[in-house]
Amino acid sequence: MIQDRSRLTTEQPNPRSKGIDARSTLEIVKIINAEDRKIAPAVARQSRQIARAVDMIVKAFKNGGRLFYVGAGTSGRLGVLDASECPPTFGCDSQLVQGVIAGGYGALVKSVEGAEDRAGDGAKALKERKLAAADVVVGIAASGVTPFVGGALEYARKVGAKTGFVTCAPESRGQIKADVVINPVVGPEVVTGSTRMKAGTATKLVLNTLTTAAMIRMGKVCDNLMVDMKATNSKLRDRAERIVMQLAKLSREESREMLAAAGGLVKVAVVMAARDLSASAAQRLLDRNDGFLRPALTPGGKKSKRRPS
């Protein structure tokens, strides 16, 4: 583990923001924006590593495994955020993707000092969640030196789970062992050491890509539509209706009726309309196609315009 943190890229002073406190408000904003423009290219340079991690996660999901994000501070909050958004977006079980943050969920809204320094707590958190060999653990540490994350990844390896590591410090790539290391190097922060900025944004982009790509590979998206979404509020019910309208070529009213007959399940409603099937028959067809909507639909398939019974 790196002892001299001043050597880390994420802890270096940024020459481009030197004297920022003496600049005008507009100049400060422009300096921050100029630095932010470096983030997407840095993430893009990690595309192959991200794809490897996605394939690792998909394999785990198909074998009954789960994905755990483990981090502290901003990194932990981003992991919990990404995990919490998967069920409504992709209709997956809330236990499939889980965020683990040093200091517990209270640390989401208030800093818990010292929680990240206890490696044993990282392992303990995964033990409490009954981590198994089928699971994947992705550690997140902007500077790569968080003991809580290192302890979690070490325990994951002992269990036999696959591991990933996301860090923005190139000096830390070899410090923590993982099956896949994702290292978007965004350079020094505008405010020295404030990794909630560029490093945090880069991490958010990586996590978004990991779960979104994995869910696409699991059949949770058809074309570019979230066909397994849970319509739990007015906005999402409207979106569900529009998805059925688009895929099944129905009117708004027909789409609403088809969804009602399908129990609110978008995929089932689309197959019912496209193949002129009952809800149960549509579900069986989806099951035969491992839940993937595209192969369950046939080109030129009959579109049902009748009211569902």
Catalytic site positions: 85, 116
CA-based radius of gyration for the chain:
23
Sign of CA dihedral 130, 131, 137, 143: positive
Concatenated DSSP letters of 84-123: HHHHHHH---TTTEEEEETT-GGGGTS--TTGGG-HHHHH
Give the integer Cα–Cα distance in Å for 214 and 188: 30
Helix (H, G, I), strand (E, B), or coil: what is residue 194?
coil
| Angle in degrees, CA 289, 247, 82, rounded to 5 | 70
252-261 vs 234-248: helix axis angle to the nearest 10?
Answer: 100
Q: How far is CA 171 from CA 135, 181, 283, in A?
A: 27, 12, 50
Q: Please state, in angstroms and rounded to a whole number, the distance separating the CA atoms of residues 120 and 180.
A: 22
